[in-house]
Amino acid sequence: MTHAKILVIGCGKMGGALVSGWLATGCPETAICVVEAYAPTREVWAAKGLVAVETPDLLPEDFVPDVVLVAVKPQGLVAALPPVVTWVRAVCADHRPLVISIVAGKPIATFEVAFGGQTPVLRVMPNTPAAVGRGISGLFANALVTDGQKTLGETLLAAVGEVVWLETEDQMHAVTALSGSGPAYVFHLVEAMAQGGVALGLPPEVAMRLARATVVGSGELLRQSDDDAATLRVNVTSPGGTTAAALNVLMNADKGFSPQLTEALAAAAQRSRELAG
């Protein structure tokens, strides 16, 4: 990875999390260039020693990327992509860089059309815990991605968490619904737990502290344990006890947590398909 040159298109929260992960694992600042429309964000990365420019035509003349990471929001893709494509075609005349897209909902075909049909494209769905090195990313590559490029792509994403390869691109909708959007579900769980604590008489700040620490600690226990989630749940649940009383509500087959979450994931997956056009 330290020998690869990377062009980052859009360096907001997710793109920035990836760049931070690469720098933390030894990638030199000189290997990364950023194209970012928002001036304050450019200033942040420039202060860290990276070349950060508004448009690709301002990039150094000797910079030839091995990887082009597209990390703009879906609604910004139409404006951001054409100047990048023009620049890449001019600069990378002798080779085709690996295009890595983390643009939600946009299929590989979008980038094959834009960059040309012979472009190796790796589609990725990361999630926001990448910002603290605890992310997980689903990956799917088109047939033009070489084994070496797959290894490079996996290494880049592994810098911010775990990596799973998908069998089909269509599975990306499920990954988007489960892990891509998943942190929001967990944060909402913390909100709901804290609100429940307040309803039972706790001060709001105490309830939130208890809820946050419980979810964070449970996640770490799950990460370190050899037991699966179901076993850990059973271990906490004494027959006829307080936890069992709560789970009788949460595990209701008709209106409990599991059927509601399944419905929520289905809605997220459907929205992902709609964004794909």
102: CATH: 3.40.50.720
pLDDT at 277: 73
pLDDT at 231: 98
pLDDT beyond 60 at 1: no
**pLDDT bucket at 162, cuts 50 / 70 / 90:** very high
- The SS3 of residue 50 is coil
Same structural domain, 152 and 118: yes
Same structural domain, 119 and 214: no
Spatial distance between the Cα atoms of 54 and 46, rounded to a whole number of angstroms: 12
Q: Phi, psi (5° rounding) for residue 67?
A: -135, 135
Same structural domain, 202 and 133: no
Same structural domain, 57 and 152: yes
β-partners of residue 162 are: 136
User: Is 1 part of a structural domain of the chain?
Assistant: no
- The SS3 of residue 123 is strand
pLDDT at 2: 54
Spatial distance between the Cα atoms of 178 and 198, rounded to a whole number of angstroms: 29
Check if the beta carbon of residue 142 is closer than 8 Å to that of residue 166: no
Which of 127, 145, 169 terminates a domain? The answer is 169
Spatial distance between the Cα atoms of 139 and 231, rounded to a whole number of angstroms: 29
Query: In the sheet where 135-141 sits, what is the strand order?
Result: 51-53, 32-35, 6-9, 67-70, 98-101, 121-125, 135-141, 161-165
**pLDDT bucket at 206, cuts 50 / 70 / 90:** very high
pLDDT at 93: 80
**pLDDT bucket at 122, cuts 50 / 70 / 90:** very high
171-205 in b/e form (b: 16+ CB < 10 A) is ebbbbbbbbbbbbeeeeeebeebbeebeeeebeee
pLDDT beyond 60 at 251: yes
User: Is 108 part of a structural domain of the chain?
Assistant: yes
| Structural domains of the chain, count | 2
Residue 255 structural domain: 182-276
**pLDDT bucket at 137, cuts 50 / 70 / 90:** very high
pLDDT at 275: 80
